[in-house]
Structure 1
């Protein structure tokens, strides 16, 4: 009896997948807002304690935040919709988050440890149970 078209039964790990997807959408929205703020602050002049005026341009940073935020939000929505490409993007972004938090572990050990643990749980949920979200 072949089960090629059958979808696996949903387990409790689906909740972790939805959790990761919702965090991605929320983080994406925050990144878009950060990008807009960075672009609005572009060309701002700051006065250093030494009395020197420095003009700072954040346009490039703002655009990168906008793009990353859009990718995060769209991938999060895609994960909730059961899209395979979105799972791949989410796994990649979570792995990059793990690496980034390893790099900053000395500066923020508790926060980095929490984020790494959550990233690893979401990666496991997406890899091992991601197919459970596929819709017919």
Structure 2
């Protein structure tokens, strides 16, 4: 038996509402991931004793370089989260781009802070999924 048009519309509206809610949560997660990245960067720039130094790491950069990479990505992520909250097209595209770059940076950061890196990677994956699955209507969110 096939679904009626009304059932299909209700189903679509439910999925859309879920995607909008997840996108707002994605903006919050992107904001939090950005703030954490900023703190990771500050810790690295200050050569904090919290960081674990590994030898013979193939993707090794100067710790100060890693710090600035995280600070810049974090600041951009916080700004993009604001654009995502208002539902702008540039915010959606930038959120996917920044979350993707953050995944790469966190993957390369794994030997220094494995638990935090994995947490941020998971948050970034959720952000990408939510933003990619959200199809805003022309009349707003």
Q: Shorter chain as normaliser: what TM range?
A: 0.5 to 0.7
Describe the superposition over 1:2-57 as per-residue Cα deviations: whole angstroms up to 9, x where unpaired: xxxxxxx7612111101111111001011111111111118xxxxxxxxxxxxx95
The residue number in structure 1 matching 2:122 is 115
Confirm or deny: 8 A CA contact 2:37 2:73 kept in the other structure.
yes
CA RMSD of aligned residues (A): 4.0
The residue number in structure 2 matching 1:6 is none
**1:91-130 matches, cutoff 5 A:** 91-96=96-101, 97=103, 115=122, 119=125, 122-130=127-135
After TM superposition, the score normalised by the length of structure 2 is 0.57
Moved over 4 A (4+): 132-136
The residue number in structure 2 matching 1:26 is 32
Give unpaired runs (5+ residues) of structure 2.
Answer: 1-12, 49-60
User: Greater strand percent: which structure?
Assistant: 1
After TM superposition, the score normalised by the length of structure 1 is 0.58
Residues matched between the structures, number: 107
